[in-house]
């Protein structure tokens, strides 16, 4: 290789980690420690398109030499990454939909209970009117 590794600019790593949900794009195990992997193996090529979030295990698999099928190839990482980006985006959209739906449901229920309270309220005041104090009203 020969190229010296340079740090990924923080705004690039932040965006990559956000877009890939801080989760290894290959095994997608939540909560695993992750690192950024340069798909083209150029450690100075810090483009968002060139970076994949990988756990240490899967990162090791990109480093394996020889042994057909053992090594995780750049093209594979790229496919996993692209698929994962899409899923993360879909999940977030879905989570938003659910949040909006439950907020609407909550708002509707609140409105309903307001409505039923305001229907009770005037009735509750009726005891002040002489007509409703009559025992025959029950
Ligand atoms: Zn992994």
Q: Mean pLDDT per 10-residue run, the chain (138 residues)?
A: 82 97 97 96 95 97 81 95 98 95 91 67 56 51
Q: How high is the pLDDT of residue 119?
A: 55
- The reported pLDDT for the residue numbered 65 is 79
Task: Give the sign of the dihedral formed by CA 45, CA 21, CA 82, CA 69.
Answer: positive
Distance 61 CA to ligand 1 centre (A): 9
CA 29 to ligand 1 center in whole angstroms: 7
pLDDT number for residue 129: 55
Give distance in angstroms: CA of 123 to centre of ligand 1.
64
How many A from CA of 118 to the centre of ligand 1? 57
Ordered by start, the domain boundaries in the chain are 10-119
In 3D space, the residue among 83, 82, 90 whose CA is nearest the CA of residue 51 turns out to be 82
C-alpha–C-alpha distance, residues 93 and 123, integer Å: 45
Distance from residue 98's CA to the centre of ligand 1 (Å): 28
Q: Which pLDDT does position 138 carry in this prediction?
A: 53
Which pLDDT does position 127 carry in this prediction?
A: 57
CB-side exposure of 43: number of CA atoms within 13 Å?
8
pTM: 0.73
């Amino acid at each position: 290789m020969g190229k010296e590794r340079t740090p990924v600019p923080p705004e690039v790593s932040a965006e990559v980690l956000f877009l890939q949900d801080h989760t290894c794009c290959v095994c997608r195990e939540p909560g695993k420690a992750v690192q950024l992997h340069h798909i083209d193996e150029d450690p100075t090529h810090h483009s968002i398109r060139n970076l994949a979030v990988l756990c240490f295990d899967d990162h090791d698999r990109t480093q394996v030499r020889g042994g057909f099928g053992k090594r995780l190839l750049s093209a594979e990482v790229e496919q996993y990454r692209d698929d994962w980006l899409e899923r993360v985006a879909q999940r977030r959209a879905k989570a938003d939909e659910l949040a909006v739906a439950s907020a609407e449901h909550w708002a509707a229920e609140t409105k309903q209970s307001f409505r039923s309270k305001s229907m009770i309220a005037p009735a509750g005041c009726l005891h002040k009117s002489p007509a409703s104090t009559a025992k025959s009203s029950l």
